[in-house]
Amino acid sequence: MTLPLSFVFFVLLGLSVYFYYHAKSGIVRKAALLSDRTKALPSHYGQQSFLWAFIPSFLILLVLTIGGPNYIDQIFYNKIQELNPTFNESFVSLILAKVINVSNGKISTGEENIIMLAKDYKIAFEQLHFYRGLVVILCAALLGMIISYRQKPGSNAREEVEKFIVNIFFASAVIAIFTTVAIILSLFFEALRFFNLYNFFDFIFGLHWAPNVAIRTDQVAAEGSFGMIPVLLGTLLISFIAMCVAIPIGLFSAIYLAEFATPKIRDFVKPTLEILAGIPTVVYGYFAALTAAPFFREIGFSLGLDVSSESAIAAGAVMGIMIIPFISSLSDDVIRAVPQSLRDGSMGLGATKAETIYIVILPAAIPGLIGAVLLAVSRAIGETMIVVMAAGLSANLTVNPLESVTTVTVQIVSLLTGDTEFDDIKTLSAFGLGLALFFFTLLLNIFALSISRRLAERYD
């Protein structure tokens, strides 16, 4: 007899729902018998029963579904090893894989031993599924009955349910934090491996970036050089150009939308601007490489300047256009959140609209505006596709926007794509770059936060 996962899950859900209604009507009956009032609403008792029946059993289901197969594999691994003590680890794994595939019917074989093992394996799995279903359903039924026995009109179902919900919120927050910490740690340890191979200070202060090392050990190649300054400078240059485009246009359009536009114009302009945010960055990349770059090149020629066909200015300008909706949309919301009473107060004193905006509204909106700009800067620093397509891969140490530069993210992509070994210095340098980028954006965040704290004008 097999009990598939979906079947077990729906039985569990059905049982829990049953206990919900059972407890809900049960508590009313109990209260009537004792001619007492229930302490919480009947639905709270229902929810309590549902949680009791569902949550522990669901966790058991989860553990058995994820852990069970691993456990069986381990048993069979040991079994194979006992049968053939001479085999080494990888050969045992190979046989185990074969057993699993035969038991699934994916491949067939004539070897008696393997067919036997595969049969056992299949049986073990069926047993696992059977007992999993049994345990989960019994557990749900048992806990559901226990709780409905324990529920009295005076017992505090609401508190337990609400406590549980608070714990769910807490758990969600913890998951988010732990994931972040895990990402940072993994980045950190990989970067540490890189710094074992390459001097830390040569990396962060080095002026030369040339990660050309031999891909295979038998190849002849130059010694690689991993100074991140040119790459970081490229990121900064392109982000700076992008912000020069995005901040004025985004902020001014936000002021127009929030303060001057009639509702009709607003209803048209705001969604149109937000379309910009929906365009995939690859498309922006095309635009940068095929339209913007030649355009800047032409202008450069007519002014007698030598513009590289993959220039920082083309990538930066297009990136700026991409970021406009972030700034304009967020700033618009922030400006509109400034209370109307402040506008009235200013107007009532005979201030013009411009004075009101400049002296009252923008200062009051500053923290939000900085938040918007910060989000945009993070986008710019993290943006990869446009730069890959329009700014190139050559790590020039320059702040000339007309030359071709590369950025941290682009280098990470080019270091990690293709055939690479994961203990190679070239691959590991990507993690070094990643860590550097992480610290850089962290500093930026802290800096912006402190500015916005200092400038904040609180309105109530």
Partner 1 sequence: MTSKFRTKKVEVSYGDKKAIRDISLDIEKNIITALIGPSGCGKSTFLRCLNRMNDVIENCSIKGSIHLDEQDIYGPDIDPVELRARVGMVFQKANPFPKSIFDNIAYGPRIHGLASNDSELKDIVHNSLEKAGLMDEVKDRLNDQATGLSGGQQQRICIARAIAVSPEVILMDEPCSALDPIATAKIEELMNELCESYTIIIVTHSMQQAARVSKKTAFFHLGDLIEYNDTDKIFTQPENQKTQDYITGRFG
Q: Which residues bind partner 1 (CB under 8 A)?
A: 262-263, 339, 341-352, 355, 359-360, 363-364, 457-460
- In the complex with partner 1, the residue whose CB is nearer, 248 or 339, is 339
Nearest to 46 by CA among 30, 78, 75, 22: 22
- In the complex with partner 1, the residue whose CB is nearer, 73 or 355, is 355
Q: How far is the CB of 60 from partner 1 (least distance, A)?
A: 55
Distance CA 339, CA 331 (A): 15
Q: How far is the CB of 338 from partner 1 (least distance, A)?
A: 9
Measured on CA atoms in the order 280, 284, 287, 289, is the torsion positive or negative? negative
Q: How far is the CB of 333 from partner 1 (least distance, A)?
A: 18
Q: How far is the CB of 258 from partner 1 (least distance, A)?
A: 14
**Beta strand residue intervals within 138-240, DSSP E:** 209-210, 225-226
C-beta separation of 297 from 309 below 8 A: yes
Helices first, then strands: H and E counts in the chain:
17, 2
- In the complex with partner 1, the residue whose CB is nearer, 263 or 278, is 263
- In the complex with partner 1, the residue whose CB is nearer, 170 or 459, is 459
Distance CA 305, CA 296 (A): 10
Alpha helices in 105-156 (DSSP H): 112-150
φ and ψ of 210, to 5 deg: -150, 85
Q: How far is the CB of 18 from partner 1 (least distance, A)?
A: 54
- In the complex with partner 1, the residue whose CB is nearer, 365 or 380, is 365
Nearest to 314 by CA among 374, 249, 388: 388
């991993």: which residue's tokens? 226
190: its two tokens: 């990989």
- In the complex with partner 1, the residue whose CB is nearer, 39 or 343, is 343
Q: How far is the CB of 25 from partner 1 (least distance, A)?
A: 48
